[in-house]
């Protein structure tokens, strides 16, 4: 560090010291090498013998010479064109107006050298006047107090305000390609500006102090993370804040370290004369009482009438205050520190009482907080209310007060926050709650006079921002300056930086004032919004949402991080622990501005298939071989009342063909151009479908009314249909009842033939004419396509022939639909139809696993379909229950899926499923 290269600033004393250091190092390493052989003879272990040490060359460090991997010298040079500089344009412009010797204007092009001082620089500019030739020193910024650069002082203030150290400052500067600053320089400037910050902080406390500060809040914090018995920080700080003003009226800091003393002790020397930073020798836990006693004494000596202290329950501060300062001083408890233990105890009781769910705990805490707020300053009232609190959730309102209990006026109303809206029935839980609240009844005096240390916690957060816990500033006065900066910011806002500049004799500047003012305005706005009821409710809602989301993810993901995870997952059930439950798939949101259907290409479309979508009795008592054949060849259909094992009492096999039926005919029309193909199915045509369509499949051939028709394979037929669509753009497919039947059958066939992506790229969406005519022509008796044609356009045709159906639909729509507003309303995008297909596919896959739940009437068929459609099967439910019991089922059932729950939020259904899984 420092300007030591090229003997730029090296004194003769420094040169002699450097030579002495090098000679001492050479001798030390040489002597160690001589002793190495002798030592190895007496060693007990072979690994004690170390290799020959290489004497490091410290010349590069002293001269700041750095070589990269390729041997290139990265040592800074005096070339003013290299890197960037922080400059004040006005200062440079003023000094370039004329040469100091001859008065001619100067130019930056004539710079011959540059000298850098931290962020400040001096440019050596040659005068172009040949008769002059003077080299002018042009500073890049302002200076004060015997050539101290303003920019370096401002840099030190920024470092304190933003919690930066020398490493962070130089890291930032190096990335900006600005010359880095030396440790000595930044330390000197921090000491300079730090003293000013302390005076500004003291002045702000004097303005905030007053005899009206009867009650103050105190709280300490440490610069090292820890909890419980592990508090072993070397430093700490404490603040005293007036309860009325909300301003810091006193503060203290403690340090058990001094960098200068430690260095002297390490080297065995006597420390030089200095302002020692070490002001405490006890344990870290004793810092808070020591600082509070010191602050109270000091504040009273200044005339502040402090009679009451608000603090937490973690220290013996009040006892030491009464012993050393004033035995009559009053101790007020912090509300948050009084409420936290109750919540913790309730969660401990949760392990003993299953009915004490998080929802019930939240309700009890809500009641407790309300009772405390209602009984402020009235210990007797709080005592009575706490007696009532152990009875109120159980439906006993004999001890309740009309001030807060609405059940006294109307016993029939429901509990909004308890399961099923009914009072709790667990008598053992009631006894435990009575015992718990008895302890707080004895402390009703404390509960009636609670205070808050929230302002102190906010102050501690500001200190942590300026003195981060992952960096140590306690070895010097830097910590004191940073705590003082937090005090000044707490009392006066961000404009304290402006005050520090003014007190230092520096100009704050436009941008410093602007940002400080903006930050203070933003802080006031945030505070004004944060205390509103709406903001508090929103914070509660967001917290509940985050907790719910986190709980759901943990149930779905299984064990990811916990103590001894690798040991636990090495057991036999490790696969189950890491098995993930699938996440829900959100339904695509339809755009409010739907495409203009009137300007798009209309494709009229229809298919015929091997099934009609109704449940059909395949065989009353099929053989085992027949059942296995059907399972293998009929695809992922829905099976009801089915067992694969043959017995005399085997129930009939009922199959729903509709949405996974095989296509037997596909037809489409675009204007006068048509497409029609018969398809060879890969399964039998059901008797009902054959009766309606006239199509039968025998001996590998397709028959229409007992005549063979030319038919192609399903992939060839679908490829031809896609080629038909390719001839136009912005295709919208019109079909009758296609949302419920044609689309699922078509998508299933396309998916099986790996043609789904090609098809999706050729269309924009679908219009179901069944919904369209119900909207445009209400109150008709029947909306089948045949009836609509007969009623509206007096057309009779051969129904259930795909080609005739398409032609009839073409006439029906073009002659009777002239209002495209209705068409827009029933339009569905391709993404939405695809989502419905995927959901249906999941349902058909997962419903069979829920058969036992249906048989036992645990859930209705509609709920089972909803569970299966959401991607869940029985194994997923068992996983969720094994991970978090009823709460696990509740989490995955109520997980948000779009604007609705994934399955349901019904407590009745959740309990029913949980009870069923508990018995498995």
Residue 665 to residue 749: CA distance in whole angstroms? 12
Is 807's pLDDT higher than 70? yes
The answer to whether 354 touches 409, Cβ cutoff 8 Å, is no
pLDDT at residue number 751: 92
The answer to whether 58 touches 22, Cβ cutoff 8 Å, is yes
Around Cβ 624, how many Cβ atoms within 10 Å? 12
In this prediction, residues 758-767 reach a mean pLDDT of 94
246: left (phi over 0), alpha (psi -120 to 50) or beta: left
pLDDT at residue number 212: 57
The DSSP secondary-structure symbol of 312 reads -
In this prediction, residues 819-836 reach a mean pLDDT of 90
772 confidence band (pLDDT: 50, 70, 90): very high
The answer to whether 301 touches 249, Cβ cutoff 8 Å, is no
pLDDT at residue number 811: 94
Give CA angle at 258 (266, 58), nearest 5°: 50
Instruction: Give the CA radius of gyration of the chain.
Output: 42
Percent helix, percent strand, percent coil in the chain, to nearest 5: 50, 15, 35
Three-class DSSP category at 400: coil
Of 704 and 29, the structure prediction assigns the larger pLDDT to: 704
Is 95's pLDDT higher than 50? yes
Is 653's pLDDT higher than 50? no
Residue 796 to residue 807: CA distance in whole angstroms? 12
Comparing 235-249, 250-264, 324-338, 652-666, the range with the smallest average pLDDT is: 652-666
The DSSP secondary-structure symbol of 268 reads T
- CA distances, 157 to each of 162, 164, 488 (Å): 9, 10, 13
The DSSP secondary-structure symbol of 6 reads G
- Encoded tokens for 532: 């509103």
Three-class DSSP category at 396: coil
Dihedral (C-alpha) 680, 684, 689, 691: value to the nearest 10 degrees? 100
Of 351 and 197, the structure prediction assigns the larger pLDDT to: 197
Q: pLDDT tens digits for 14-64?
A: 777 777 776 766 655 545 444 544 444 343 444 343 444 444 443 443 344
Looking at the DSSP assignment, which residues form a beta bridge with residue 702? Answer: 697
The answer to whether 326 touches 308, Cβ cutoff 8 Å, is no
pLDDT at residue number 72: 61
The answer to whether 223 touches 467, Cβ cutoff 8 Å, is yes
| Secondary element (H or E) of residue 19 | helix 12-41
214 confidence band (pLDDT: 50, 70, 90): confident
- Four-residue CA torsion sign, 559, 560, 565, 570: positive
pLDDT at residue number 900: 87
Residue 203 to residue 614: CA distance in whole angstroms? 86
- Tokens 């705990």 locate to 361
Average pLDDT, the chain: 83
Q: pLDDT tens digits for 853-891?
A: 999 999 999 999 999 999 999 999 999 998 888 889 989
Around Cβ 796, how many Cβ atoms within 10 Å? 9
The DSSP secondary-structure symbol of 61 reads H
Most confident of 129-133, 368-372, 812-816: 812-816
Q: Which of 764, 761, 752 is nearest to 717 (CA)?
A: 752
51: left (phi over 0), alpha (psi -120 to 50) or beta: beta
Residue 351 to residue 185: CA distance in whole angstroms? 60
Comparing 526-535, 628-637, 819-828, the range with the smallest average pLDDT is: 628-637
- Encoded tokens for 414: 């429901």
In this prediction, residues 752-777 reach a mean pLDDT of 93
- CA distances, 643 to each of 323, 384, 631, 654, 843 (Å): 83, 63, 11, 11, 19
Q: pLDDT tens digits for 538-597?
A: 988 888 888 888 888 888 888 777 666 555 555 545 566 678 899 888 877 766 667 788
The answer to whether 661 touches 610, Cβ cutoff 8 Å, is yes
In this prediction, residues 693-714 reach a mean pLDDT of 87
Residue 866 to residue 909: CA distance in whole angstroms? 12
- How many CA atoms does the CB half-sphere of 402 hold within 13 Å? 3
The answer to whether 816 touches 775, Cβ cutoff 8 Å, is no
pLDDT at residue number 715: 93
Query: Which pTM does this prediction carry?
Result: 0.72
pLDDT at residue number 75: 58
Is 316's pLDDT higher than 80? yes
Three-class DSSP category at 617: strand
Is 415's pLDDT higher than 60? yes
Q: Which of 527, 529, 693 is nearest to 610 (CA)?
A: 693
- Complete DSSP assignment for 218-267: EEEEESS---GGG---SEEEEEEEETTT-SEEEEEEEES--HHHHHHHHH
């Amino acid at each position: 560090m420092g300007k030591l290269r090229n003997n730029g600033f090296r004194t003769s004393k420094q040169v002699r010291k450097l030579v002495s250091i090098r000679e001492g190092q050479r001798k030390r390493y040489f002597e160690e090498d001589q002793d190495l052989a002798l030592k190895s003879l007496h060693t007990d272990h072979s690994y004690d013998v170390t290799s020959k040490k290489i004497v490091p060359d410290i010349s590069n460090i002293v001269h700041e010479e750095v070589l990269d991997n390729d041997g290139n010298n990265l040592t800074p040079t005096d070339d003013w064109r290299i890197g960037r500089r922080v400059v004040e344009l006005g200062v440079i412009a003023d000094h370039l107006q004329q040469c100091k010797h001859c008065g001619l204007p100067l130019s930056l092009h004539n710079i011959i050298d540059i000298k850098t001082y931290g962020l400040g620089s001096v440019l050596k500019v040659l005068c172009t006047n040949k008769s002059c030739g003077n080299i002018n020193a042009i500073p890049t910024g302002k200076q004060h107090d015997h050539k101290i650069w303003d920019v370096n002082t401002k840099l030190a203030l920024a470092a304190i305000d933003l919690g930066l150290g020398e490493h962070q400052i130089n890291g930032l500067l190096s990335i900006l390609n600005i010359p880095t600053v030396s440790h000595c320089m930044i330390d000197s400037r921090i000491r300079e500006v730090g003293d000013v910050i302390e005076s500004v902080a003291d002045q702000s406390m004097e303005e905030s102090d007053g005899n009206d500060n009867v009650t103050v809040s105190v709280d300490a914090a440490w610069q090292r993370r820890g909890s419980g018995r592990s508090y072993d920080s070397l430093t700490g700080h404490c603040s005293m804040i007036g309860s009325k003003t909300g301003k810091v009226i006193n503060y203290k800091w403690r340090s058990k370290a001094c960098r200068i003393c430690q260095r002297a002790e390490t080297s065995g020397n006597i420390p030089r004369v200095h302002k020692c930073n070490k002001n405490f020798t006890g344990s870290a836990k004793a810092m808070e009482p020591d600082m509070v006693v010191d602050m109270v004494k000091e504040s009273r000596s200044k005339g502040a009438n402090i009679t009451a202290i608000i603090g937490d329950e973690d220290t013996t501060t009040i006892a030491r205050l009464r012993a050393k300062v004033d035995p009559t001083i009053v101790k007020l408890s912090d509300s948050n520190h009084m409420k936290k233990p109750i919540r913790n105890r309730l969660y401990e009781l949760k392990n003993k009482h299953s009915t004490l769910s998080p929802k019930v705990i939240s309700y009890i805490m809500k009641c407790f907080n309300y009772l405390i707020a209602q009984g402020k300053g009235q210990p007797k009232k709080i005592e009575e209310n706490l007696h009532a609190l152990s009875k109120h959730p159980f439906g006993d309102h004999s001890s309740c007060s009309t001030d807060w209990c609405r059940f006294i006026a109307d016993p029939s109303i429901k509990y909004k926050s308890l399961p099923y809206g009914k009072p709790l029935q667990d008598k053992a839980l009631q006894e435990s709650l009575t015992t718990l609240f008895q302890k707080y009844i004895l402390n009703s005096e404390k509960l009636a006079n609670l205070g808050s240390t929230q302002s102190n916690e906010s102050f501690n957060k500001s200190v942590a921002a300026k003195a981060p816990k992952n960096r140590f500033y306690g070895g010097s006065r830097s910590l004191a300056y940073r705590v003082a900066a937090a005090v000044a910011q707490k009392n006066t806002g961000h404009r304290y930086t402006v005050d520090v500049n003014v007190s230092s004799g520096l100009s704050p500047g436009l941008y410093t004032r602007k940002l400080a003012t903006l930050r203070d305005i933003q802080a006031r706005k945030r505070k004004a919004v944060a205390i509103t009821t709406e903001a508090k409710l929103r914070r509660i809602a967001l917290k509940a949402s985050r907790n719910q989301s986190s709980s759901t993810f943990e149930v779905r993901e299984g064990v990811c991080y916990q103590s001894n995870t690798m040991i636990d997952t090495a057991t036999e059930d490790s696969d189950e622990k890491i098995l993930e439950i699938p996440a829900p798939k959100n339904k695509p949101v339809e755009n409010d501005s739907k495409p203009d259907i009137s300007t798009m290409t209309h494709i009229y479309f229809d298919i015929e298939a091997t099934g009609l979508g109704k449940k059909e009795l395949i065989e009353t008592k099929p053989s085992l071989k027949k059942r296995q054949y059907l399972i293998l060849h009929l695809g992922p259909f829905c099976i009801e009342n089915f067992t694969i094992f043959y017995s005399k009492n085997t129930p009939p096999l009922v199959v729903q063909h509709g949405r996974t039926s095989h296509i037997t005919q596909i037809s489409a029309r675009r204007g006068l151009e048509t497409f029609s193909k018969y398809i060879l199915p890969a399964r039998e045509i059901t008797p009902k479908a054959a009766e309606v369509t006239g199509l039968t499949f025998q001996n590998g051939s397709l028959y229409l009314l007992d005549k063979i028709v030319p038919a192609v394979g399903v992939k060839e037929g679908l490829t031809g249909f896609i080629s038909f669509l390719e001839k136009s753009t912005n295709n919208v497919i019109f079909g009758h009842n296609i949302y419920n039947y044609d689309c699922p059958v078509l998508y299933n066939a396309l998916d099986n033939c790996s043609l789904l992506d090609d098809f999706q790229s050729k269309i924009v969406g679908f219009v179901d004419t069944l919904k369209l005519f119900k909207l445009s022509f209400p109150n008709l008796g029947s909306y089948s396509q045949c009836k609509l044609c007969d009623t509206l356009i007096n057309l009779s045709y051969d129904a259930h022939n795909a080609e005739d159906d398409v032609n009839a639909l073409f006439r029906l729509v073009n002659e009777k639909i002239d209002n495209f507003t209705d068409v827009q309303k029933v339009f569905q995008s391709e993404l939405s139809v695809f989502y419905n297909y995927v959901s249906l596919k999941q349902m058909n896959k997962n419903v069979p696993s829920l058969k036992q739940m249906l048989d036992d009437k645990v859930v209705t068929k509609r709920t089972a379909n909803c569970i299966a459609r959401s991607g869940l099967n029985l194994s997923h439910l068992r996983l969720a229950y094994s991970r978090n019991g009823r709460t696990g089922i509740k989490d995955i059932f109520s997980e948000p899926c779009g604007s609705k729950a994934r399955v349901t939020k019904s407590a009745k259904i959740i309990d029913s499923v949980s009870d069923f899984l508990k018995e498995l």
